[in-house]
Copies of this chain bind each other. A is one copy, B any other.
Amino acid sequence: MANITKKVSWSSRADESGATGERTPLLNGSEQTSHSRQPSEGGSVFQIGRLSTVDLEEEITSDEESLRGRPKEIPHTEKLLSLKYESLDYDNIENQLFLEEERRMSYMGFRCLEISRWVVCGLIGFLTGLIACFIDIAVEQLAGFKYQVVKTNIEKFTEVGGLSISLLLWAVLNSAIVMLGAIIVAFFEPIAAGSGIPQIKCYLNGIKIPRVVRLKTLVVKVCGVICSVVGGLAVGKEGPMIHSGAVVAAGVSQGRSTSLKRDFKIFEYFRRDTEKRDFVSAGAAAGVSAAFGAPVGGVLFSLEEGASFWNQMLTWRIFFASMISTFTLNFFLSIYHNKTGDLSSPGLINFGRFQSDSVAYNLYEIPLFIAMGAIGGLLGALFNILNYWLTIFRIRYVHRPCLQVMEAMLVAAVTAAVSFTMIYFSNDCQPLGPEHTEEYPLQLFCADGEYNSMATAFFNTPERSVRSLFHNQPGSYNPLTLSLFTLTYFFLACWTYGLAVSAGVFIPSLLIGAAWGRLFGILLASIPSNGSIWADPGKYALIGAAAQLGGIVRMTLSLTVIMVEATGNVTYGLPIMLVLMTAKIVGDYFVEGLYDIHIKLQSVPFLHWDAPATSHWLTAREVMSSPVTCLNRIEKVGTIVDTLSNTSTNHNGFPVVVQVSGTDEPAKLCGLILRSQLIVLLKHKVFVELARSRLTHRKLQLKDFRDAYPRFPPIQSIHVSQDERECMMDLTEFMNATPYTVPQETSLPRVFKLFRALGLRHLVVADDENRVVGLVTRKDLARYHLGKHGLEELQLAQT
């Protein structure tokens, strides 16, 4: 089971590199046995689990027992918590070096820093907008070309017969394009698969997902998403924009590219997790903003997913990045469309303009909206459950890259085939008005001057289809077309999400919802009544789209604002809020949101907003990991190397203690030092003896730590001779001298609140003599979650 999880993991490359690390010759002089992985690995995991096992209260234990006794139809990999993922460190490491630097800095220095933060945010917005623009134009050009070719072909064969050749052409074209997209994703950068939103959620939550913000990921993501959309899959190009924005932000803010081996020597101050997180938030917001033309929605998305502490200036900067991003996109698209200066397409998806008259709703429609919300919640839950099973299936059987590519091609071919069949058998012909909005109207078997209505939905990029459903004249679709379309597209979209291609689920959800929403509107209009208020099914299409999307992703405030901004009209605020609220309540009753399901299936130690409500009877004593490996303030190099090389205790932070000389008392806590810091110290050989002998020896500076950030070398690559092992290292200057501590009796919610609010990575548990008794990390807190049978504890696994 553990093995299964590993294969689908977002960071399978990282595992390999880890393995490479183990194969490198051992240079650090320590004994061979201590750093190669031992079969006792599992044992150590159990040890951690055992030491912090909780005495469950009786009724809960029996509940859990009964749960365990029940046969499980699918492997519950979401009940595991991977030890593989590390935390990011959102708490400043306030060691002496840092404090000295801050104290040296003048007020003007801080002002300059603040200005450069604004510059970086502007750049992030600009570049994200450019990328969105590039994707949009590329998709439009390529898809236009494809549809033109297929359309010509269909028209050729409609009269002479032999439309199966057209079908073949369409299917092969789609498969080929999708294959390209799947190959680069599956073989070169698996982390670029999917929408990237779960990954960014995790990053902002404080989890280090390997390779998620690299340049290569960005390139693969952009090319991949173009291929998927052009390949006709039931996907959108909006979700990936959020990931792209985040990568841009992580790159720009660091002033260098490790992949390209270029260091511009700027923005060095920003080379730490705290600062980088803020920029990545801005990047994600800029991505949302470019995708939906929703700058406020972008800010709210970033905050909803990532913020642990709201800061006015930070939010304002994020908003700035968002605005610049949508503006850039808008501006360049206006040039592309030869309407320079007409800023009317602020996002990749544009819901079109809802005329204020037609969007007006009436009081008695509100129950209808709520009912639609409930339908959206139900359908969303169904979608998520199906996709969950599918994902489990994929984890088990479709984990090799070539299989993944083949599955993607299969889906592409099936999508084309199904679409073609639906169009072929549809007899919903509509007159082609003079001001028709269809880009590629297919006449097929319709009379001259008419077009096939089913083709409007299928033979089009999904964005255009959504817009048609919102705005086409009443009567453009007949109910049968819409029902068939909803049904097929629902299953196609569900099958597609999770493929090894870069693609988002926003647009397919909107499309499904818009289809059944419009159907709902048409059915309402057929009820004999005097009111002409039912006349416009486009309104119901919009509500349906919101309901379906809400039922699938379960976002709240940010989604409301995104929808409102995308419609460009605030009138709909209340109905959209009610619909999303209903969809969330109904959906949550059955299953979690799609992104949360995928996060859970990765066994990521994700921290939610609060500790589980019923966890007050747990205290830090039960939650913490112990015993903890502590280091002395002046420690032997050999001990440090051995500690770092010991894979059975793969902690990344070590409390530093000081022994009262001449006593047997346990040592007192005096600081906290990170694995990465120790590695830099070892690399630079900051040993007490060497410092004494070489008086002119350059003092280690913060810059050395920043240069190594974020890819610190593994301990195995550092050579430490036997002589050097006898040297001493003084950690005083480098450790964080004021780590946060809690007493052992602190309740779990209180520990959780401190940890989450400050974005900590390690929280030291101290007794009333200020001695270290344990260490609380993210995994210790993420382990407890509220299941259907009360508080449950996830198992830790070395996957």
Contact = CB atoms under 8 A, between A and B. Distances in A.
Nearest to A741: B741
A568 B565 contact: no
A437 interface: no
Contact of A758 (B320, B344, B757, B766): B757
A299 B577 CA distance: 13
Given A319-B560, A573-B323, A363 B769 contact: no
A267 interface: no
A181 B768 CA distance: 59
A770 interface: yes
B309 A577 contact: no
Contacts of A92: 750
Contact of A319 (B94, B107, B323, B577): B577
User: Which of A341, A668, A738: most chain B Cβ within 10 A?
Assistant: A738
A754 interface: yes
A32 interface: no
Contact of A757 (B309, B331, B343, B669): B309
A758 B786 CA distance: 24
B565 A570 contact: yes
A400 interface: no
A561 interface: yes
Contacts of A107: 613-614, 786, 790
A784 B299 CA distance: 31
B741 A296 contact: no
B738 A743 contact: yes
Interface string A357-390: 0001111100000000000000000000000000
Contact of A610 (B311, B361, B570, B766): B311
Nearest to A555: B312
A568 B565 CA distance: 11
B310 A573 contact: no
A786 B741 CA distance: 30
A609 B311 contact: yes
A312 B571 contact: no
A707 interface: no
Contacts of A327: 574
Interface in A565-598: 565, 568-571, 573-574, 577-578, 581
Contact of A738 (B331, B613, B750, B786): B750
Contacts of A309: 308-310, 753, 757
A614 B105 contact: yes
A758 B770 CA distance: 22
A703 interface: no
Interface string A21-36: 0000000000000000
Contacts of A356: 353
A670 interface: yes
Interface residues of A, number: 85
A670 B556 contact: no
B737 A745 contact: yes
A648 interface: no
B556 A316 contact: yes
A312 B556 contact: yes
A323 B790 CA distance: 33
A316 B790 contact: no
Interface string A304-345: 100111111101100110010011000100000000111110
B316 A343 contact: no
Contacts of A790: 107
Interface string A727-762: 000000000011011110111001001100110000
A15 B102 CA distance: 43
Nearest to A297: B296
B320 A342 contact: no
Given A308-B309, A568-B569, A319 B757 contact: no
A604 B205 CA distance: 35
Nearest to A791: B107
Given A94-B747, A738-B743, A746-B738, A343 B320 contact: no
User: Which of A107, A364, A790: most chain B Cβ within 10 A?
Assistant: A107
A737 to B, nearest CB: 6
Given A570-B565, A737-B743, A304 B308 contact: no
A574 to B, nearest CB: 5
B614 A106 contact: yes
A295 interface: yes
Contact of A320 (B577, B614, B769): B577
Nearest to A107: B614
Contacts of A296: 296, 557, 560-561, 564, 573
Contacts of A344: 360
A797 B340 CA distance: 61
A360 to B, nearest CB: 7
The 3 closest A-B pairs by CB, nearest first: A102-B616, A110-B613, A738-B746
16 contacts: A103-B616, A103-B617, A105-B614, A107-B786, A296-B557, A308-B310, A309-B309, A310-B310, A312-B556, A312-B609, A316-B556, A327-B574, A343-B571, A564-B570, A568-B569, A766-B770
Interface of A: 92, 94, 99, 102-103, 105-107, 110, 295-296, 299, 303-304, 307-313, 315-316, 319-320, 323, 326-327, 331, 340-344, 353, 356, 360-364, 556-557, 560-561, 564-565, 568-571, 573-574, 577-578, 581, 609-610, 613-614, 616-617, 668-670, 737-738, 740-743, 745-747, 750, 753-754, 757-758, 766, 768-770, 786, 790
Given A316-B556, A669-B768, 4 more contacts: A316-B581, A341-B364, A753-B758, A769-B769
